[in-house]
Amino acid sequence: MGTVPSNPSWNPLMPNTEFISTGFHVPERVVTNNDLAEFWETSDEWIQERCGIQTRHWTERGGETGSDLGLKAAQSALERADMDPSELDCIVYATLSPEHFFPGGGVFLQKKLGLTGIPALDVRNQCSGFLYGLSVVDAWIRSGQYRRVLLVGAEVQSPALEYDYPEGRNIGVLFGDGAGAAILGPAEESDRGVLGTNLFSDGRFAEHLWVEGAGMRRYPWVSHEDLENRKLYPRMEGREVFKHAVNRMPEALSALMEEHGVKAEDIDLLIAHQANLRINEMVARRLKLRDDQVYNNIQRYGNTTAASIPIALDECARSGRLNRGDLLALTAFGSGFTWASALVRW
Ligand code: UT7
């Protein structure tokens, strides 16, 4: 445990936000790199060398939805906290792969949890969605507006991959399906919980990683032409995204560390968004962190977008890699571009 001061703005009427529990769930189907090589021109060697991914989990076609995965992740977190869903007073649901154009997935998760009346907020900040959500939840809990908030990142991305199209490999080898959940509430001690978050975005790069159609910017909002021109699938300028990711995440986290008087050696654990193992190795190097200060699980799950941080968090919390009092650093980067970081005294 480091010697980082507690949150200087702590006040008993505005408590810190602590993680009460976490949970995650991934679909049963494991897809290997060799499985992908059956329909895309790719190889296990290329994927492992460029991204570090060995396997990912995909739903069965037409199977589980994001809110189904989110429900299982939430149930696991509720069980760990020994809480009933009725004790929740708010849901925040982050995804880039909504199961319907509208309404957002949060209300579907709410229905599956058997809850009515409490608010369900949807966050659409892609790979940064969990940290954007955490920042909002932190503000609500500090202000006393809500006391038991379920924050979920859930993604079913496999239906939006182009299995029958050679260029589909560009994004297809990266993405996995899964969900992670956290239950957050006010901390009793001033020196525990979320110490701070910072959020950033830059819309100049919106078209570097996006799905161009369907959408209300177009008339008609979905068309055969869009389908034929493959406008309904994600597109990414991989190298450009890579270049920004390796700069923006360390910048964000360094700024937050400086604000809170945190040095590299104080950090017990860094969990960065799992987009590419090479990105995360560069991020760790730039932050001057040793390998034993960093956790990655992209090898097994691929890039699960808004779910990647809470899945890794739950694995660390349950395996003893993350313990009470540890200083946890989180950072993410993705489509938008959006990026964010957080410091948490676990
Ligand atoms: O989570 C949201 C944020 N997303 C990210 O952070 C992803 C950021 N980008 C990346 O991680 C990397 O750019 C990729 C992993 C997507 C691609 O790696 P890269 O080293 O940037 O490869 P590249 O796109 O520059 O392509 C290098 C070569 C090309 O062949 P030539 O032109 O050198 O002959 C590609 O056609 O690799 C080829 N290639 C592939 N080969 C086998 C591209 N994708 C594949 C593939 N399998 N899946």
Q: How far is Cα 56 from Cα 337, in angstroms, rounded to an integer? A: 24
- Band of residue 14 on the pLDDT scale cut at 50, 70, 90: confident
Q: Whose CA is nearest to atom 40 of ligand 1?
A: 42
- C-alpha to C-alpha distance for 122 and 108, rounded to whole angstroms: 11
Closest ligand 1 atom to residue 303 Cα is 1
pLDDT at 6: 59
DSSP 278-310: HHHHHHHHHTT--GGGEE--HHHH-B-GGGHHH
Question: How far apart are the CA of 159 and the centre of ligand 1, in A?
Answer: 21
pLDDT exceeds 90 at position 10: no
Cis peptide before 166 (omega within 30 of 0): no
Q: How far is the CA of 282 from the centre of ligand 1 (A)?
A: 16
Check residue 40 and report its DSSP letter: S
| pLDDT beyond 70 at 4 | no
**Which pLDDT tens digit goes with each residue over 287-330?**
999 999 999 999 999 999 999 999 999 999 999 999 999 999 99
pLDDT band at 200 (very low <50, low <70, confident <90, very high): very high
CA torsion through residues 77, 81, 82, 88, sign = negative
Ligand 1, atom 47, residue with closest C-alpha: 42
Task: For residue range 30-51, list pLDDT tens digits in order.
Answer: 999 999 999 999 999 999 999 9
261: alpha, beta or left? (left if phi > 0; alpha if psi -120 to 50) = left
- Candidate from 47, 211, 242, 282 with most ligand 1 atoms within 8 A of CB, to mutate: 242
* Closest by CA position to 48, among listed 304, 283, 282, 299: 299
Q: Pick the catalytic residue: 90, 127, 276, 280?
A: 127
Distance between CA atoms of residues 276 and 48, nearest Å: 10
Q: Is 33 a catalytic residue?
A: no
- What's residue 108's pLDDT? 98
Closest residue by CA, ligand 1 atom 14 = 238
Clarify whether 51 is annotated catalytic: no
3-state secondary structure at position 196: strand
Q: What angle do CA 293, 157, 283 make, to 5 degrees?
A: 25
Q: Distance, CA 133 to ligand 1 centroid (Å)?
A: 29
In a mutational test of the pocket of ligand 1, which residue from 39, 44, 50 has the highest number of ligand atoms less than 8 Å from its CB? Answer: 50
Does the CA dihedral 235-240-246-248 come out positive or negative?
negative
Cβ atoms 193, 345 nearer than 8 A: yes
Residue whose Cα lies nearest atom 25 of ligand 1: it is 239
CB 66 within 8 A of CB 153: no
Q: Which of 51, 125, 273, 276 is catalytic?
A: 273
**What is the model's pLDDT at position 214?**
86
Q: Is 11 a catalytic residue?
A: no
pTM: 0.96
